Amino acid sequence: MHSSFDLLALLLVTSAGLAYLNYRVWKLPLTVGLLVGAAAGASILIALDAVLPGLGLKLVIRNLVGSIDFPATLLNGFLAFLLFAGALHVNSRDMFERKWTILALATLATVLSTGLVAAALLAVSRLLGLGIPLSWCLVLGALISPTDPVSVLDVLKRVGIPRDLQATVAGESLFNDGVGVVLFMLMLSLATGTQIDHFGPVTIASLFLLEAVGGALLGLGLGYFTFLMIRQVDDYNVELIISLALASGTYSLAGMLGVSGPIAVVVAGILIGNHGMGGAMSETTRQHLMTFWRLIEETLNALLFLMIGLEIAAIDLEWWNFIATAAMIPLVLLIRGLSVAVSALPLNLHLPRRYASLLILTWGGLRGGLSVAMALSLPDGPNKAPILTIAYGIVVFSIVVQGLTLEPVARHALSGQADG
């Protein structure tokens, strides 16, 4: 039996080795390189095991992946720190100027996408004879609709898109993680009939608002309390510890209170990243804090995308599930564009770059580790395998294909809008 430290050491060594290969040979974006490298390595070992079953390689990989407990690691560990680190970089003034668009994308677009993805999966399921009921189709819709704040922001900054569009993408990605988790828990409860199967739509909507608004208020309160604390301290070591306590404590307390941890952490991070750094920290502390959280973010991202790649070993890829995945990928992309257009376009008809922004938001709506973690956390049953396979396929396509082509797509969209 290996200790948790041994497992962490193995993941860090593997991440370092793949990062080195990527830098020297593949020259892909780091997260994409880690995901592709891990998935390719695991696939090669699984294929070798099929040829030489006596080696037992597939069992070894599955035991390794199972020991990681990816859902718990992300949802109860990484997510708090990744969201807090991302929120620190957000300009609250830019985000406030785009508040209605961000709110529409994080809520209305996510809810609309959940319903449309469920309808699409139900049609595909009936066509292929998979037998996935509507309630479980809604579960897939909820877990695949949130976009990933990790994968897209660095690319958009390199493209040089306007600040207001950067703020929109960042705001949607950070907040719809929290909305998506709340929706997922509600849809899973409906599918399993464990908690709210007898509740009506109004009650479900009330629970959704309670978790989302409650999380925002909790993050605001704890963030402001932390701001008052660090304003009385002038020691960056103490302030770094306080920021760690804020991220972890806010997420943990939100879980105890039954409100959204992701939303609470994002609100707290935005408050500290703007008012805290501007009105309560010295320049030395600001530099140390940003460097510290950038290191945390990069390290956790490396481990996260490595684990996403390794999770291919957890999937039993059946032929019909593979066909369903191939059918759902373009449908989900189309639904992303439709949900963005319906929720945000009416608020931005007066803007000159509205159609370019629509294209960038559609193609830049990358899915990530949160979707995989939620899919892996599903209870065992006949619907888990197809949902997990479809979710994993959409995430990998999103990160690899959309992530690698987002920069030229964004440049083309912005140049075309300017020419028009």
**Which of the given ranges, 3-7, 129-133, 154-158, has the highest pLDDT on average?**
129-133
Residues 199 and 153 reside in one and the same domain? yes
Do residues 252 and 307 share a domain? yes
Position 186, amino acid: L
Same structural domain for residues 32 and 162?
no
Single residue among 23, 50, 67 that ends a domain in this structure:
67
Q: Are residues 272 and 351 in the same domain?
A: yes
Of 16, 39, 67, which marks where a domain is finished?
67
Helix axes 369-376, 384-397, angle to 10 degrees: 170
Q: Angle between the 369-376 and 163-192 helix axes, to the nearest 10 degrees?
A: 0
Same domain, 95 and 167: yes
Q: Are residues 19 and 148 in the same domain?
A: no
Residue 212 shares a structural domain with residue 115: yes
**Residues 6+ away with beta carbon under 8 Å from 413:** 355, 356, 359, 360
C-alpha neighbours within 13 Å on the C-beta side of residue 310: 22
Residue finishing a domain among 31, 47, 67: 67
Q: Is the pLDDT of residue 153 over 70?
A: no
Give yes or no: residues 177 and 33 share one domain. Answer: no
- Rounded to 10 degrees, what is the CA torsion of 124, 315, 70, 218? 0
- Which one, of 196, 82, 190, 186, lies nearest residue 134 by Cα? 190
CATH of the domain at 230: 1.20.1530.20
Q: How many residues does the chain have?
A: 420
Task: Looking at the structure, tell me whether residues 37 and 148 fall in a common domain.
Answer: no
Which whole number is the average pLDDT over 37-64? Answer: 83
Same domain, yes or no: 142 and 289: yes
Is the pLDDT reported for residue 196 higher than 60?
no
**Any idea which of 94-108, 372-386, 403-417 has the lowest mean pLDDT?**
403-417
Total domains, the chain: 2
Domain range holding 92?
70-419
Question: What single string gives the DSSP state of each residue in 88-123?
Answer: HT--HHHHHHTHHHHHIIIIIIHHHHHHHHHHHHHH
pLDDT band at residue 129 using 50, 70 and 90 as cut-offs: very high
